[in-house]
Structure 1
Amino acid sequence: MKKNILVASIGIILMLFNSCSTNPVTGKKDLVLMSEEQEIALGAQTDPAVIAQFGLYDDKSLQQFIQQKGQAMAAVSHRPDLKYEFKIVDSPVINAFALPGGYVYFTRGIMAHFNNEAQFAGVLGHEIGHITARHSVQQQSKATLAQLGLIAGMVISPEFAQFGDVASQGLGLLFLKFGRDDERESDELGVEYSTKIGYDAAEMADFFLTLQRQQAANGAAIPDFLSTHPNPGDRYTTVHELAAQWKKKENLTTAQVERNSYLKRIDGMVYGEDPRQGFVENSVFYHPELKFRFPIPTDWGYMNSPQVFQMAPKDGKAMMNLMLVPGETLEEAAQKLMQGYNLQPVESKSVTVNGLPALAIVADQQQQQQQQQVIRTLTYLIRYNGNNYSLMGITTADNFNSYFQTFSNTMQNFAELTEADKLSRKPERINVETVQQTATLAQIFQKYNVPSDRRDELAILNGMELTDRVESGTMIKLISK
């Protein structure tokens, strides 16, 4: 027995040793259960799901800008031979993230909050750093070894509820949290890469402060590159020190900041939620183009995307989502939905929702491991204007009765949107103006009739304090429709 155990142990050790590869950044051996070919393939397979989920932001000039700067930075990185792709996705959330194999995404939300090209370049280098140091691959390997997996079946935590394809293992990579060491390393690489193409990397530290202020102001989720953040003060100081070191090393006497050129690029960009894709107001979700509305449970968070609208309470014990389901009839749509989510119907009946034909279905999903709780769902499939709308409530069988009424209230109040002011709602956009007279930012906002309840928000958007003195000729960001 002991001999067999020893032989097995040696076999495992040899397997792990053979799984080690040299890290392109550190030159040290890493435990990675994925070859570079597999890493590239995984990114390529997941990219279409990301684009389908968020959509690309419709601005060719900005898309060319991120591609140009990204390719220039990739060329000086530790993995220049990867085929990198850089994209701006159509989401108001302030975030940036990367997939294995060379895929980097910035939201239009984060693009709106940069105040110069150097800030943008620093964060771009940070995300490239996660790829060159193979952080996602290392995290996935650790999760595999721990038999944690990524995502199996339906996940009911708000942390995962940002994304519609809740059964997608590939999108699960977006939820792998990097440790403090990984974040520090990516900060260092962001400084190195952005300096090498001529930017002042110290600006990245200033942008981190903007993100901290934004998070403190509205409690928004912290982006991945701040999720396991080292002490903000230490991080700010470290990035400034690293930037000074790399400027000296590269003999960079005139580092680029490019404030005005960047602001001109984002002038006219959609800011916040785009009402054309649906918007929330007073706990009601409105969709002007598809002409429907329904209420959101009190104190539930939400995430909107072109594919799905999702809602969840803060404790993560339930979630609801709205999506379109193909099918010529409600019965055909129901069959496709049940098969797609591996659901077994428990009860189904025909109902009417505000004059619209519908099916109400209670269904269960058995988990792969017997010790896991049964997932129970309530779905209303509603036929409206030739589309099948699925409103699905998801929780455990044990909690189902507690959430049944909450699910039902939302689903039974799905209705046609007729209010003229909602149907004609236009998106807010960034409007870049040049200050004509030196004054404090607060005085300038007052001159431009910025509502008092939005001045703190716009101060953060500009990376300034309301008390800051703004010189004549300075460009600032305002919001208009």
Structure 2
Amino acid sequence: MSEEDEQRIGKEQHPYILKSYGAYRSKRLQAYINEIGQKLARVSDRPDINYTFTVLDDDTVNAFAMPGGYLYISRGMLAHLNSEAELAAVLGHEIAHVTARHAARLETRSKIAKVFGAAAGLATGSSGGFVLGDAFGGVFVRGYGRKFELEADELGARNMARAGYPPSSMLATIELLKQKEKFEIRQARTEGREARVYHGLLSSHPDNDKRYREVIKAAENIGDGGAEERAEEYLERINGLKWGEREQVGILRDRQFYHPQLGIKMRFREGWRLDNEGSRIMAVSPDNDAILQINAYSYRNDTPEEMLKRQLGENNVRDGRSLTIAGMPAYIAIANRADSPFGPKPVRYVVVFDQRRRKAYIFAGAGKRDLSRIAADEDFIAMIFSLDRMNQADYQVARKLQVRVIRADETTSFESLADESPLPNYPVDRLRLINGMYPDGQPEPGQMFKVIL
């Protein structure tokens, strides 16, 4: 791959990436990330490239580089970093992939095609990048491999030292992100699902391998000894950063679920949690043995009954009746057999037509051990029938969460903060993770740290 090819690929894929993720709407933050990125790029091995740095409106922990100097970092990644030096570690690692021409050094043309053929289909919902080995849905890590990841660590650490940041912060960043990945694996095991980790740092930087520590520590001999972490400066820059899913996914406050974009709300049962996969919303039971899925579609001029029977087949529907929910026409029935997260099962269906928005809300509930009877049907019905339209007070309650920076005192603990936290799942663990204090750390009196409000 020539340098001209690199420039062409990066320029061609940039609009696709922005369309898939969206650029984060903060000129101030975009300018700050560009400032740090350009500072690192100027001391890199290829300072002549026209580098472009973009913060993506993506809550996953994600950063990646495209050929030609196009680099991306998600707001989810920024929320988990705790100093400007850690930011420099992520950006320096990604710049190194560009300067070392790792894409051009892929062994075969088929690998190149495999990597960049995936770029046009980015909207997969999977995270990638620094924590995931520079992956669009896992593809980049299969292309680059461990050898290039270690080289990017080494070159990135050198660039950090030249730019006035301690290379040891790259080690801290790797460990922080490995803890995030370990938490995700434990969480997935508890919830009975696959971990949303695609060839991450646990595979490219295993705990029993000291090589990446050695190549990073070697960079500490570079620079003038005046390296700074700039922790408080960084935290002040990200104060007010948006937290959580994008607007189209919905928000859970205590047991109340709000979807501001659709203008609807519903109440979850005690202990049920919210789980999102792309545009699909799921309420999951405490024992992970029952799931209520919620999807929204545009509808034509048919009725809720006609829509459901067209999808499932006339003979596959029983116990059906028409009704209204929150003043909206609806149809409730059971499918004798239909696809579910647990395979083919009897499924409780409700279709609700929102005539104001021309949307059909389709609810589908199933249980892991259901044969003919739906064990969690009472829970499904209670949640579905709680559906209502949002009012002005609801929109205020459902405002987007933000990362807020506060200073600890003698009484501060993550446990006490979690009691009042709007985070729906694992609030203590999540607060520790974003502050680099997982699994059992606490903020020191006088220390600046992050909360979610």
State whether structure 2 residue 28 is matched by structure 1 residue 57. no
CA distance in 1: counterparts of 2:32 and 2:212, whole angstroms: 25
Question: What is aligned with 1:426?
Answer: 399
Alpha-carbon offset, residue 43 of structure 1: 1.4
Question: What is aligned with 2:78?
Answer: 111
Q: Read off the aligned partner of 1:432 and give its amino acid letter.
A: V
The 8 Å contact of residues 8 and 68 in structure 2, kept in 1 or not, is answered as yes
Question: What is aligned with 1:367?
Answer: none
CA distance in 2: counterparts of 1:216 and 1:389, whole angstroms: 38
Q: Which runs of 5+ in 1 are unaligned?
A: 1-33, 164-170, 312-319, 332-345, 358-379, 392-408, 438-442
Structure 1 residues 284 and 102: CA distance shift in structure 2, 3 A: farther
CA distance in 2: counterparts of 1:389 and 1:154, whole angstroms: 27
Choose from 252, 255, 263 the match for 2:227. 255
Secondary structure of residue in 2 paired with 1:98 = strand
Question: What is aligned with 1:317?
Answer: none
CA distance in 1: counterparts of 2:15 and 2:120, whole angstroms: 20
Q: Read off the aligned partner of 1:476 and give its amino acid letter.
A: F
CA distance in 1: counterparts of 2:92 and 2:385, whole angstroms: 44
Choose from 179, 185, 188 the match for 1:213. 179
CA distance in 2: counterparts of 1:137 and 1:386, whole angstroms: 49
Q: For each residue in 1:333-364, what CA deviation from the matched residue of structure 2 results, as whole angstroms up to 9, or x when unmatched?
A: xxxxxxxxxxxxx9999xx998679xxxxxxx
Question: What is aligned with 2:130?
Answer: none
Q: Read off the aligned partner of 2:398 and give its amino acid letter.
A: R
Choose from 145, 149, 158 the match for 1:183. 149
CA distance in 2: counterparts of 1:414 and 1:143, whole angstroms: 52
CA distance in 2: counterparts of 1:466 and 1:225, whole angstroms: 19
Choose from 93, 100, 103 the match for 1:126. 93
Alpha-carbon offset, residue 303 of structure 1: 4.0
State whether structure 2 residue 418 is matched by structure 1 residue 450. yes
**TM-score in terms of structure 2 length:** 0.64
Secondary structure of residue in 2 paired with 1:432 = strand
Structure 1 residues 115 and 428: CA distance shift in structure 2, 3 A: same
Alpha-carbon offset, residue 98 of structure 1: 1.4
The 8 Å contact of residues 291 and 416 in structure 1, kept in 2 or not, is answered as no
State whether structure 2 residue 5 is matched by structure 1 residue 38. yes
Question: What is aligned with 1:14?
Answer: none
Q: RMSD of aligned C-alpha atoms? A: 4.8
Q: For each residue in 1:295-348, what CA deviation from the matched residue of structure 2 results, as whole angstroms up to 9, or x when unmatched?
A: 99x9997444xxx6699xxxxxxxx997988xxx959xxxxxxxxxxxxxx999
Alpha-carbon offset, residue 162 of structure 1: 3.7
State whether structure 2 residue 176 is matched by structure 1 residue 229. no
Structure 1 residues 194 and 330: CA distance shift in structure 2, 3 A: farther
State whether structure 2 residue 260 is matched by structure 1 residue 288. yes
CA distance in 2: counterparts of 1:96 and 1:148, whole angstroms: 16
Structure 1 residues 208 and 389: CA distance shift in structure 2, 3 A: farther
Structure 1 residues 414 and 140: CA distance shift in structure 2, 3 A: farther
CA distance in 2: counterparts of 1:310 and 1:176, whole angstroms: 28
Alpha-carbon offset, residue 278 of structure 1: 2.9
CA distance in 2: counterparts of 1:271 and 1:145, whole angstroms: 34
Q: Once the two structures are aligned, what percentage of the paired residues are identical? A: 27
Secondary structure of residue in 2 paired with 1:179 = helix
Question: What is aligned with 2:39?
Answer: 72
CA distance in 1: counterparts of 2:37 and 2:295, whole angstroms: 35
The 8 Å contact of residues 160 and 175 in structure 1, kept in 2 or not, is answered as no
The 8 Å contact of residues 279 and 287 in structure 1, kept in 2 or not, is answered as yes
Secondary structure of residue in 2 paired with 1:86 = strand
Question: What is aligned with 2:239?
Answer: 267
Q: Read off the aligned partner of 1:53 and give its amino acid letter.
A: S
The 8 Å contact of residues 191 and 201 in structure 1, kept in 2 or not, is answered as yes
Q: Read off the aligned partner of 2:171 and give its amino acid letter.
A: A
Alpha-carbon offset, residue 385 of structure 1: 4.4
Q: Read off the aligned partner of 1:103 and give its amino acid letter.
A: Y
Q: Read off the aligned partner of 2:263 and give its amino acid letter.
A: K
Question: What is aligned with 1:5?
Answer: none
CA distance in 1: counterparts of 2:417 and 2:119, whole angstroms: 51
Alpha-carbon offset, residue 49 of structure 1: 1.6
Q: 140-149 or 38-47: which moved more?
A: 140-149
Alpha-carbon offset, residue 479 of structure 1: 2.1
CA distance in 1: counterparts of 2:161 and 2:148, whole angstroms: 20
Structure 1 residues 448 and 73: CA distance shift in structure 2, 3 A: same
The 8 Å contact of residues 83 and 234 in structure 2, kept in 1 or not, is answered as yes
Question: What is aligned with 2:285?
Answer: none
Alpha-carbon offset, residue 467 of structure 1: 5.3
Secondary structure of residue in 2 paired with 1:88 = strand
The 8 Å contact of residues 415 and 428 in structure 2, kept in 1 or not, is answered as no
Alpha-carbon offset, residue 241 of structure 1: 3.5
The 8 Å contact of residues 161 and 310 in structure 1, kept in 2 or not, is answered as no
Question: What is aligned with 1:476?
Answer: 449
Question: What is aligned with 2:370?
Answer: none
Question: What is aligned with 2:219?
Answer: 246
Question: What is aligned with 2:317?
Answer: none
CA distance in 2: counterparts of 1:286 and 1:469, whole angstroms: 32
Alpha-carbon offset, residue 60 of structure 1: 1.8
Q: For each residue in 1:372-431, what CA deviation from the matched residue of structure 2 results, as whole angstroms up to 9, or x when unmatched?
A: xxxxxxxx9x8864667899xxxxxxxxxxxxxxxxx9xxx8998514576441222222
Q: Which runs of 5+ in 2 are unaligned?
A: 128-134, 186-194, 283-292, 302-310, 315-321, 331-350, 363-379, 421-425
Alpha-carbon offset, residue 83 of structure 1: 1.6
Secondary structure of residue in 1 paired with 2:229 = coil
Choose from 429, 433, 436 the match for 1:463. 436
- Pairs aligned (count): 366
Alpha-carbon offset, residue 470 of structure 1: 4.7
CA distance in 1: counterparts of 2:429 and 2:437, whole angstroms: 9
The 8 Å contact of residues 170 and 216 in structure 2, kept in 1 or not, is answered as no
CA distance in 2: counterparts of 1:209 and 1:136, whole angstroms: 26
Alpha-carbon offset, residue 181 of structure 1: 0.5
CA distance in 1: counterparts of 2:405 and 2:26, whole angstroms: 17
The 8 Å contact of residues 162 and 303 in structure 1, kept in 2 or not, is answered as no
Q: For each residue in 1:430-455, what CA deviation from the matched residue of structure 2 results, as whole angstroms up to 9, or x when unmatched?
A: 22122233xxxxx5226854329522
CA distance in 2: counterparts of 1:217 and 1:285, whole angstroms: 25
Structure 1 residues 203 and 153: CA distance shift in structure 2, 3 A: closer
Secondary structure of residue in 1 paired with 2:151 = helix
Structure 1 residues 458 and 138: CA distance shift in structure 2, 3 A: same
